[in-house]
Amino acid sequence: MKRIVTITALLILIGSAALTFGPQLLNRVFGEAAQSAPRLWDEAGLLNDAQKAFIARYHQVLLTDFDIDFRVLTESGERDIAQSALSAFETRAVGALSQTGRGLLLLIMPDRDAVRMEVSEALEPAFTDTFVAYVQQRQMVPFFQSGRVADGILATTELLYFRALHAQAGENFDPRQLEAASSGAGAQTSARLGEGYNAAPFRQQTGEVSAGDAPLATVQAYLKAMADRDARIDLPIYSQATQRMLANWTVTPAQMDNITQVYHACSAPQWRHTPDGIHAVLRYPVSERRCAPWFLVREGDAWRLDLTMMQQAIRFNHRNEWHFAPGITHDYSDAFADLALDDHGYPHDRPRQRWSLSLSTKPLDDRVQTRVTSVGAGSPAEKMGFRVGDRLLQWDEIKVEYAGQVSQRLSSVEEGQTVTAVIERDGQQLTLRMAAPPRVD
């Protein structure tokens, strides 16, 4: 028999509304194609079909990417969970699908208010006692306390994937020594049924957190708050709508840690304005697909995070790669005008363009206006003098009402021919001239 590392914790099942924090689990698109795997046995009836499909995708990815045979079992009844877990690990041949014997079983018994995770010996270097205890106490139990058992299972499954990813890169697990997580075979967390999840320790921080006069300063303040496990919902870095939304969220320490870890590995983001001047986006290179963009709105004298619209507009796949939700319109779309979106909403760099100039026509102040939404760095459009937010009034002899009037002219004008644009910027009209650049095949 394989040696098995065990950790046991108690579930706390009470009702309250909650959502996850940041680019996390609950804003996933469960409707993506996936098949329910036989490695999931929901005998207690805790999961719906969409949730089963989501877990099934992680089952397959963990097996394909990391050779981990992960199973989830929910059972009804009052049987001893330790005996049930050991029996299930053997009878259901957990680890048999792995070429290296890497087996992982998550057993939930709601009638006993208990959960147990079994880890095969081959997985011990990655899924240590400390990590398993951390997952249960800092990710699963907060969800269970909030009455979201299924979401706790899903969030835990996602965290297991990321631990496997970091272990593959040779990174040891260290919960920053901020807590004395119980560990070792049979370690157990006491249940306080009926109390609900106590987020107070993470909402009683006293450090100053300020919104910035620039979007980057606000995002940096947010990431520091996450690193400090500061879950206060009234921080000035949040928009008013975001603060209202956060009042009903379940924020777990593991989620805050994960946000910190993900964005620590991201490159410096680019700040992109929208023509209205009150919305902005901080974007990372398209190749860094786990680094989702940040939406910010100008409220008062500072830029504040609009997590509400991020929650609606951004989705993630099972590898935490972001994409746009289909059919969602928002005030930040112009900040992505230079990117091409595929049929699933994933962004891609556009092929090389002749001008690298993007225009958008929208009603503003009871008038239809065409404005510049993006200008490529070092591009002909930038050399001609265009800036984001410029209102385009005329292109050569064309009185511009709609962006489509200019699109054909941009591509058809002969190389070297002088083109003239009349724009409005800060209430003043300016004339821009330039010889047309070479065409792009």
| The pair of three-digit structure tokens given for residue 313, joined into one six-digit string | 């507009």
Number of H helices, E strands in the chain: 11, 19
- List, by residue range, all CATH 3.10.310.50 domains of the chain: 4-168
Long-range contacts of range 424-431, CB-CB < 8 Å, 24 or more positions apart? Answer: 424/390, 424/391, 424/393, 425/387, 425/389, 425/390, 425/391, 429/393, 430/385
CATH code assigned to 4-168? 3.10.310.50
Residue-level pLDDT, tens digit, the chain, 441 residues: 333 333 333 333 322 222 333 333 333 333 333 333 468 899 988 888 888 887 787 788 888 888 999 999 999 888 888 889 889 999 999 999 999 999 999 888 878 777 888 889 888 888 887 787 777 776 777 777 666 777 777 778 777 887 887 787 777 765 543 343 333 333 333 223 233 444 455 455 567 899 999 999 999 999 999 998 888 889 999 999 999 988 877 677 777 888 888 899 899 999 988 888 899 999 999 999 989 999 999 999 999 999 999 989 998 876 778 999 888 888 998 889 878 888 888 998 876 778 888 888 887 766 788 999 888 878 899 999 999 999 999 999 999 988 888 888 888 899 999 999 999 999 999 999 999 999 876
Cα 181 to Cα 356: distance, rounded to the nearest angstrom: 53
CATH 2.30.42.10 spans which residues of the chain? 357-435
Q: Which CATH class is domain 357-435?
A: mainly beta
* CB atoms inside a 10 Å sphere around CB 278: 13
The two tokens of residue 338 are 């230079």
Residue 243: HSE in the Cβ half-sphere, 13 Å Cα cutoff:
12
